[in-house]
Structure 1
């Protein structure tokens, strides 16, 4: 038995939650993965996983073994990486997930620079605003904004974006220009951004002189994708609150007009996120370092 390979196989099952997804992420047959875990259990003389026809769960002994062996694996991989990075260029595939407007307006326009710096790295870019299972979906990292609530993930801040509240000139001519946030409750039509995590509409947030407020009223339309959300504002469906980098061109050419400028909400933080248990490959390290350098300037931070 290759114990290191068996430990890695077991760890991926723990992270993915089942054998099929773990096998897919490791690009090995399900039967091979299952055999590796069985051999590891026989070698240790303990049961690491409880298997039923519907699910796989980790035993208390398995959880303890996972936590201890992951520290060893990370140390081993760090040693390997330090030597490999010193004598080779980063190469291979990077799977990255990013939200719609951030992909369109920030990351994709900047990618030619990264690809020129690292021509041996291939990128598979997943673009959506949905929550991603980094382990199950075999994603190396995601770029996301807002608060992070998963302690099993590592998040590195890469910048912050300004938020703007805006609408079309035609909408403002018909419904009037609100002078205060509270006026949004008086007959105005809001186009809310609906999060894919819980299906709830994001409140309209405002801040002035350190005082924060939220407007929560029933929206006329809710949209769960950032590009479509901006398009709804441009179509005159109502007032939107979005990132300045996304609305910037439309504000510049007059298709949208910013309102309530004195009550702009606090800057919105952005992070690059990856699993705590996943080793940082040389290619992922250089990508993250590059993001930290270029991202702030492109989101207007």
Structure 2
């Protein structure tokens, strides 16, 4: 038995929750992964996993073995990295997941700089607004906006998004200029809705002016769950939108959007880079995380924290 391969297979089965997902992430046949786990259990003379038709669960002995195995595999990767000067020339594949607008507008345009520094790193980047499971989907890190609900994850705050309320000149010609957020809840006004991919619920917008706070679920004819589709719906005159400042700035300058309700503000959304606590932060992942922090931190200084003071 290749103990190292068996240990790697076991760790992935535990993290993925199924033999099928683990086999896919390891690029091995499911039968091979099954055989490795069975051989490992025979070698250790203990049952590591309870198997059902849909999912596997970890036995008490299996949980203890998993904790030690992840540490050993992490130490081994660090040792190999020090032997081949990986800290100076990180190499290998990392899997990351980012919101669509962050990937398309903020990260991908700057990747040539990253590859100029680290030409031997291969990035597999999921670009969408859907929420992923870092462990079962075998994702090394994600960038997420909003307050984190899973306290088991490790997070570094890297900036924040500020928003502007806006609509197209054509929308305003058809429906008039709103003067209070509550007008957005009833005809003739309407907003473009944004719904959670997880719950399906259309999200509300909270407007503030001094001590006055108004929570609005806008009257809408369309709701989407992607930031670019959301902006495009606004540009198609389908409703008022809440747009991040860095997306709105060029449109406000060109006249494609007009700012509304300027005496009202909407809370900023914090932005984090997040990775699992039990995922060894290899040199290749560490330099990517540091680069993202540097990149988005500089963009925060330049634009993310600007409150869209454009007319």
Structure 1 gaps of 5+ residues are: none
> 1:260/1:291 Cα in 2 relative to 1: closer, same or farther (>3 Å)?
same
- Find the counterpart in structure 1 of residue 309 from structure 2: none
For 1:224-283, what per-residue CA distance to the aligned partner results, in whole angstroms no more than 9, with x for missing partners? 111111000001000111211122221111111121233222221111222222222212
Residue in structure 1 matched with residue 167 of structure 2 by the alignment? 167
> How far did 1:182 drift?
2.4
Inter-CA distance 28–212: structure 2 relative to 1 (3 Å threshold): farther
Inter-CA distance 86–118: structure 2 relative to 1 (3 Å threshold)? closer
Task: Show the counterpart of 1:185.
Answer: 185
> How far apart are residue 89 of structure 1 and its match?
0.5
Two-structure CA RMSD over aligned residues (Å): 2.3
Gaps of 5+ in 2: 306-311
How far off its partner does 1:294 sit?
1.2
Following superposition, the deviation at residue 33 of structure 1 comes to 1.7
Contact 2:86 2:283 in 1 (8 A): no
The Cα of 1:150 is off from its aligned counterpart by 2.5
- Does the CA contact (< 8 Å) of 2:16 and 2:138 recur in 1? no
Q: 2:131 maps to what in 1? A: 131
CA distance in 2, matches of 1:112, 1:283: 16
Seen in structure 2, the aligned counterparts of structure 1 residues 211 and 76 have a Cα distance that, compared at 3 Å, is: farther
Distance in 1, matches of 2:18 and 2:47, equals 16
In 1: Cα distance, 2:297 partner to 2:258 partner: 24
Q: What residue in structure 2 maps to residue 248 of structure 1? A: 249
Residue of structure 1 in register with 2:220 after alignment? 219
Aligned length: 301
Contact 2:234–2:240, Cα closer than 8 Å, also in 1: yes
Whole-Å Cα distance in 2 between the matches of residues 199 and 296 of structure 1? 32
Aligned equivalents of 1:248 and 1:34: distance in 2? 54
TM superposition score normalised by structure 1: 0.90
Q: 1:208 to 1:84 in 2, by over 3 A?
A: farther
2:199 is equivalent to residue 203 of structure 1: no
Q: Work out the CA distance in 2 between the residues paired with 1:208 and 1:83.
A: 59
Q: What SS does structure 2 have at the residue aligned with 1:248? A: helix
Show CA shifts across 1:183-209 (max 9, x none).
Answer: 322422011111212211121122344
> Which is further off, 267-276 or 60-69?
60-69
How far apart, in 2, do the equivalents of 1:88 and 1:102 lie?
A: 28
**CA 1:81/1:150 → structure 2, altered by over 3 Å: closer, same or farther?**
farther
